[in-house]
Amino acid sequence: MKIMMILLKLLSALLVLSCGTLAQAEQLTVAVAANVKYAFDDLAVEFKKETGIEVQGVFGSSGKIAAQVKSGAPYDVFLSADTDVPEALYHEGWAVSKPRVYAYGVLVLWTMMDLDLGRGLLLLANAGVQKIAIPNPRLAPYGRAAMQALEKAKLKAAVESRLVYGESIAQAAQFVDSGAADIGFNAKSIVLSPEMAGKGKWVEVQQGSYEPIAQAVAVLKHGAQTQPDGARKFVEFLSTPKARAILEKYGYVLP
């Protein structure tokens, strides 16, 4: 009887350990470009409903995420704000799937002040606009798009001394939200989010003034080694009608 009890306890312990391991296996870590943060929250909820797989997001600028991946960060999937960064990771062996475009981002000007946004970018030449928030172009694709728009409008030299750089588009948005900047470049997906809806006012930057912000997803090396099935399912999920509807709700243009 004692031997039987010991065996039952051992079996119970093994089952608990096994369940814990399975639970751990059913969780993905996705590195997410800051502009996708709010849409990602909805995507993660819907993905779990469909697959039972928990998804945890880590947010930052695409450039910073790439540096973290190269430093060994255990991310499984990368939702980038462009194609260049994940493409470079793919060619360097840090990503195992060729990046696939899941959405096109839209750049906007956003302010808490009573400014005439009908003037578009020309408003920035006004000396009354003291500080202009922009994501760091070296790290954030939306920052690069903003600089392209300024150059096309021949405004770069006029406003360069008034630019306030955020590490990511989320930080640039914080500058505007807190009043640290008078106006700023932002992602349409952020100003449409429930957290930001109704705050301030915004206008789209003419899309022809910057290169299309093609945002791509890729399975990373860590995901392929530890969560290959879940990582693949998440990438495939982004092409489903439910995921596309979420992305469209946040202002993205769909491929």
Is 70 exceeded by the pLDDT of residue 21?
Answer: no
Residues 67 and 161 occupy one common structural domain: no
Q: At 221, list the tokens.
A: 């090396």
Residues 82 and 158 occupy one common structural domain: no
User: Is 1 within the bounds of a domain?
Assistant: no
Residues 87 and 113 occupy one common structural domain: no
Q: What's the pTM?
A: 0.84
pLDDT of residue 2: 52
Q: Whose CA is closest to 61, among 33, 38, 41?
A: 33
Cα torsion 44, 50, 54, 55: sign: negative
pLDDT of residue 3: 53
Amino acid at 58: V
Residues 100 and 115 occupy one common structural domain: no
Q: How many domains are contained in the chain?
A: 2
Q: Whose CA is closest to 141, among 174, 172, 111?
A: 172
Asked if residue 31 lies in contact with residue 81, where contact means CB atoms within 8 angstroms, the answer is no
Average pLDDT (192-202) is 91
C-alpha–C-alpha distance, residues 164 and 136, integer Å: 9
C-alpha–C-alpha distance, residues 195 and 44, integer Å: 17
User: Is 12 within the bounds of a domain?
Assistant: no
Is 50 exceeded by the pLDDT of residue 11?
Answer: no
CATH code, domain with 196? 3.40.190.10
- With residue 144 as reference, give the H or E element that holds it: helix 141-152
Cα first-last separation, the chain = 66
Average pLDDT (128-135) is 94
pLDDT of residue 126: 85
pLDDT of residue 23: 40
**Cβ contacts of 229 within 8 Å, gap of 6 or more:** none
Please report the beta strands in the chain, taking only residues with DSSP state E, as ranges in sequence order.
27-33, 54-60, 77-79, 100-105, 107-111, 132-135, 163-166, 183-187, 201-204, 213-219
pLDDT of residue 157: 94
C-alpha–C-alpha distance, residues 165 and 143, integer Å: 9
Residues 199 and 234 occupy one common structural domain: no
Q: At 134, list the tokens.
A: 């922009």
Q: pLDDT of 51-96, one tens digit each?
A: 999 999 999 999 999 999 999 999 999 999 999 999 999 999 999 9
Looking at residue 220, what DSSP letter applies?
Answer: B
User: Is 7 within the bounds of a domain?
Assistant: no
pLDDT of residue 128: 85
Q: At 123, list the tokens.
A: 């408003």
Q: Kindly compute the dihedral angle of the four CA atoms of residues 202, 207, 210, 216, in this order, to the nearest 10 degrees.
A: 90
